[in-house]
Chain A
């Protein structure tokens, strides 16, 4: 683990990735101390300073009701990151467990579990999340449910394929011969060997969860105003192109920076841990 971190800081690209992610995460955690206008995260109106292009003290400009965009972007990061954490914390264990059962047990278990997974994988991810989100009420919690519902099958697929090849390995056979239980073999023998792949995918997915969540709110199916959200900021600003370009460009770049950072790290991890691209 420590060795991996050291290697990450040596490669210039992954070092940039680490710096980007660290900046995003730290600014989200310490948002209250960094932003110039902490109260602008909520429903504040300042008609004297509305729709201002970037200028001091509004480095990213202000929106149509005079709120500082920089402030709102930092607070939006906070919500995106929280959402990413919760989604992965729920989706990964579910997906991994199903993948292990299907891959190791085989037979009918495999057939049924993998067809169910196929069903979820056959609905385009965004469409599935949209339907769940639309049928429930658009709130942060429901957003997490919607994104989780579309995320677990990808881990099932990943772990299923890994488990199928791992179970042919000698160490699994050895464990079977000494009479280890199936659960022990799945979770104590096979699972640890899948960890590098799972970790790499999680790093990449952290960025992609942010991306999908912003897509949902871009369509008006995400976090509702006045809570700041990168996707809905872009959607709102797109109505005022090209004159008020800062309304869309800065939130859009904010998404790009965060996701790019996670991707750079994930990419480097893949190379260090020798994980194949999925």
Chain B
């Protein structure tokens, strides 16, 4: 059962890291200047009221005890109340997360669907015009932050050539009963293909702006890994046997090149969760971004800790999936289960 043992081991490591993340964020939130109780109640509250709230929030206890209370609450699915919205942080995140996830997942699909083929093309035609063109374009892709691409794409394809809508997730005239919060799913559940197409149109520009640097990164990695694989003796052997070039590229060169690339693609996905904040701001996308920035500017501690924790958890889950995919492709990792 090497696979199950690997899964258990990776789950354990992820849990340790997640506890570490919670400790780090909690520590950052506690060492900052300013009294959370005073911030919560505003400048006009009496000293007694502040003292009472400090007691209620366990702010007078030692740091580790405070962290203990926090963990106990967390295990019960309670992240506290946001001072910004006056609602449980969990509810806020549940409301805003699906829009962000939808954007990031579509961007992730674009990254893999465009980045890998570009990388393969570049490696197969190494040193030719195709290779140079792809390398230049992908390098440009990683050379600007996603908000710059978002603005440029918006100017070109929403204003100058009005092909796509300018902002939002869905045209105002449409209302879709929320089930999952993922509009691509909800519109189909509602049996409204028109709204589905509308949602897709709203997604394309922001998702592409978000995906651009990932596409560049993925293409460049696959290229350099494949160029390296092409120099291996077994490729030479396959060529000597006269195997078709396509088969060599697909079966012998691509698969081993994918392994190191996959891990980095997982990390790029994490970067996208952060960069989604930038793209959402440009396209007025009703996701976690506006909430995240608003709570950070207001020093809304519970909400900040909750948001960062959820984003990190999503990231760890993605990395776990990537790790397992790598172990499926690469029997050496699966069988030796070395932690790298």
Q: What is A's interface to B at a CB cutoff of 8 Å?
A: 13, 115-116, 118-128, 130-136, 207, 211-212, 214-215, 218-221, 231, 234-235, 238, 241-242, 245, 248-249, 252-253, 255-256, 259-260, 263-264, 267, 276-278
Asked whether, in the complex, the Cβ of A118 is within 8 Å of the Cβ of B155, the reply is no
Shortest distance between the CB of A170 and any CB in chain B (Å): 23
Residue of B nearest to A13 (CB): B136
- 17 additional A-B residue pairs with CB within 8 Å, beyond A122-B270, A126-B275, A252-B152: A13-B136, A115-B20, A122-B316, A122-B319, A124-B311, A126-B277, A127-B274, A133-B296, A135-B28, A212-B145, A219-B293, A221-B297, A249-B155, A256-B143, A276-B224, A277-B224, A277-B225
CA–CA, A122 and B148, complex, Å: 25
Shortest distance between the CB of A253 and any CB in chain B (Å): 8
Contact of B147 among A120, A135, A218, A259 (CB under 8 A): A218
Shortest distance between the CB of B335 and any CB in chain A (Å): 20
Contacts of A278 in B (CB 8 A): 264
Contacts of A234 in B (CB 8 A): 147-148, 151
B142 within 8 A of A: yes
Given the contacts A124-B273, A130-B292, A264 and B139 also touching, CB distance less than 8 Å: yes
CA–CA, A83 and B277, complex, Å: 22
Residue of B nearest to A124 (CB): B274
Asked whether, in the complex, the Cβ of B271 is within 8 Å of the Cβ of A126, the reply is yes
CA–CA, A120 and B24, complex, Å: 9
Asked whether, in the complex, the Cβ of A242 is within 8 Å of the Cβ of B159, the reply is yes
B6 within 8 A of A: no
CA–CA, A149 and B142, complex, Å: 22
Give 27 CB contacts A-B under 8 Å: A115-B20, A118-B20, A119-B21, A121-B267, A122-B17, A122-B21, A122-B270, A123-B24, A124-B274, A126-B274, A127-B274, A127-B277, A130-B274, A131-B304, A135-B28, A136-B32, A211-B144, A241-B155, A242-B155, A248-B155, A252-B144, A252-B148, A260-B139, A277-B220, A277-B224, A277-B225, A278-B264
Q: What is B's interface to A at a CB cutoff of 8 Å?
A: 13, 16-18, 20-21, 24-25, 28-29, 32, 135-136, 139-140, 142-145, 147-148, 151-152, 154-155, 159-160, 220-221, 224-225, 228, 264, 267, 270-275, 277-278, 281-282, 292-293, 296-297, 299, 304, 307-308, 311-312, 315-316, 319
Contact of B299 among A135, A253, A267 (CB under 8 A): A135
Shortest distance between the CB of B143 and any CB in chain A (Å): 4
Asked whether, in the complex, the Cβ of A135 is within 8 Å of the Cβ of B277, the reply is no
Contacts of A123 in B (CB 8 A): 21, 24-25, 308, 311-312, 315
Given the contacts A115-B16, A219-B278, A277-B221, A245 and B155 also touching, CB distance less than 8 Å: yes
Given the contacts A126-B274, A249-B152, A132 and B28 also touching, CB distance less than 8 Å: yes
Asked whether, in the complex, the Cβ of A267 is within 8 Å of the Cβ of B270, the reply is no
Contacts of B16 in A (CB 8 A): 115
CA–CA, A187 and B237, complex, Å: 42
Shortest distance between the CB of B294 and any CB in chain A (Å): 10
Shortest distance between the CB of A110 and any CB in chain B (Å): 10
